[in-house]
Chains A and B, each alone.
Chain A
Amino acid sequence: MAVVEMRPACKPGDYKSDIKPIWCPGCGDYHVLMSFSRAFAELALPPEDLVVVSGIGCSSRIPAYTSCYGFHGVHGRALALAAGLKVTRPELTVVVASGDGDGYSIGGNHFLHACRRNIDMTYVVMDNHIYGMTKGQPSPTTEPEFDTALSPGGTGLRPFHPLVIALASGANFIARCFSGEPNQTAAVLVEAIRHPGFSFVEILSPCVTFRPDEREWKNLVHPAPVGATNDPAKAARRIMTDDGFNIGILYRGDRKPYRPAVGQAGVDLAELERDFEL
């Protein structure tokens, strides 16, 4: 008779490590960490079966603050690393954490292809419209008139629109959240993780140190006027016309998640030599 190991019910506290975050008090990422813990607890996933993969930046520090497996990789490459991991260990739950710099600038190309590939994983970008870790340079989502040392007077560039890019590139689930609503965010993360394929969740997460103006975000965010659609054309129209503060699940697609052809391991290595035999 099989022995089923009883595990105690999962609590959010089970997913926090003993390491104290270096994030500034007031940073939205503390709430995001809370949302992660709550979502993981809701899904009742054993921490050893969860991997949080990140790049470089304040947001990317999050893996070590969880009690799951983690990979704090190099700048912009978290999605690629996660792809190699998930494809070889499909039974693990893989969550990728990034920021607007790591994810949309240096990581931009990998973002496109991750959406296109539609491997089953969840991509969480903590967007604070600034490069925080390196002290306040504009990121691809920074407003064009925002003055910084690196771009005096503002970049004058139209901000990157990650949700539109994700939709166009094939992401199978698209949502926007606000860190200041951690329970709502947790609920969205639960759905994102459950949804097959590539789930993209952008979390607006204010930077208290370099964007004190983002305190206003709590007054600007509002629920998306309509629920999620599975029609990319509808989703495109809604996402392209929103004010950047629509909160909720915006798109839920039907693409089958990527599954590479994996053969049986039964073939003798000697078979492979046939190619060469004279």
Chain B
Amino acid sequence: MTVAAGNPTVASLADLFAVAYQIEADAVERYDLLADQMATHNNPELVGVFRDLSRAEAIHRDEICRIADGIDVVAHAQRMAKWNRGESPEAASLGEAHYLMTPWHALQLALAAEQRALAFFQSVAGSATDPAIKKLADEFVEEEAEHVNLVHRLLRKYPKPADNWSSDPDPPVSQE
């Protein structure tokens, strides 16, 4: 059933597939947008990081369509998977982006995104009365937990940046 106010109502398996699909689809779009921002702002390393994250989410998204076998997940999602308060949980926070951000920062965004998605499915699983929905929600919890772990492992590869990571010797430029 419904979780926090403002989240989509999950009343059936189809609903849950649709919401799970939408979460991944929104994540793909968000990482693509961030990659575009990094391309426009000349941060090629981060273009690569965000494109990789986008591809990973696309795989998850397509996998959900595959296991949803027989349900028109996309159409169903268009109808009901809407967040009224806050954003789609796995969509990385746009407000935290920065043109000089480092891979560490990007992964922090990804980590927070995965953790939000995990929390979402946990609350669906916790409040589900239908056993089939609870079972599927638990599976999604496991998936998301794996993603969280993956991001943690990736983060081991990148040291926390120095305090002056955002310092730019050049001043801002007025365009108009």
Indicate if B138 sits at the interface (CB-CB under 8 A).
no
B94 near A183: Cβ-Cβ < 8 Å: no
Q: Secondary structure at chain A's binding surface: helix, strand, loop or mixed?
A: loop
A21 to B99, CA, bound (A): 13
Partner of B85, one of A11, A22, A183: A183
B98 near A20: Cβ-Cβ < 8 Å: no
A208 near B176: Cβ-Cβ < 8 Å: no
Closest to A56 in B: B176
Stretch at the interface among A23-31, A104-112, A154-162, A226-234: A23-31
Partner of B87, one of A56, A134, A182: A182
Question: Considering only CB atoms and an 8 Å cut-off, how many residues of chain A contact the other chain?
Answer: 29
Q: Secondary structure at chain B's binding surface: helix, strand, loop or mixed?
A: loop
Q: B98: which A residues are within 8 A, CB to CB?
A: 24-26, 208
Q: Most A CB atoms within 10 A — which of B34, B101, B175? A: B175
Indicate if A255 sits at the interface (CB-CB under 8 A).
no
Given the interface pairs A25-B34, A26-B97, the reply to whether A183 lies near B86 with Cβ below 8 Å is yes
Closest to B166 in A: A212
B41 near A187: Cβ-Cβ < 8 Å: no
B174 near A133: Cβ-Cβ < 8 Å: yes
Indicate if B83 sits at the interface (CB-CB under 8 A).
yes
Q: Which B residues between 79 and 122 are near A, CB-CB below 8 angstroms?
A: 82-87, 94-99, 101
Q: A31: which B residues are within 8 A, CB to CB?
A: 94-95
Partner of B175, one of A133, A182, A187: A133
B82 near A183: Cβ-Cβ < 8 Å: yes
Partner of B40, one of A21, A180, A206, A210: A21
Indicate if A184 sits at the interface (CB-CB under 8 A).
yes
Q: Which B residues between 129 and 176 are near A, CB-CB below 8 angstroms?
A: 171-176
Output the least CB separation between B107 and chain A (Å).
Answer: 16
Q: B173: which A residues are within 8 A, CB to CB?
A: 135
Indicate if A209 sits at the interface (CB-CB under 8 A).
yes
A135 near B174: Cβ-Cβ < 8 Å: yes
A57 near B95: Cβ-Cβ < 8 Å: no
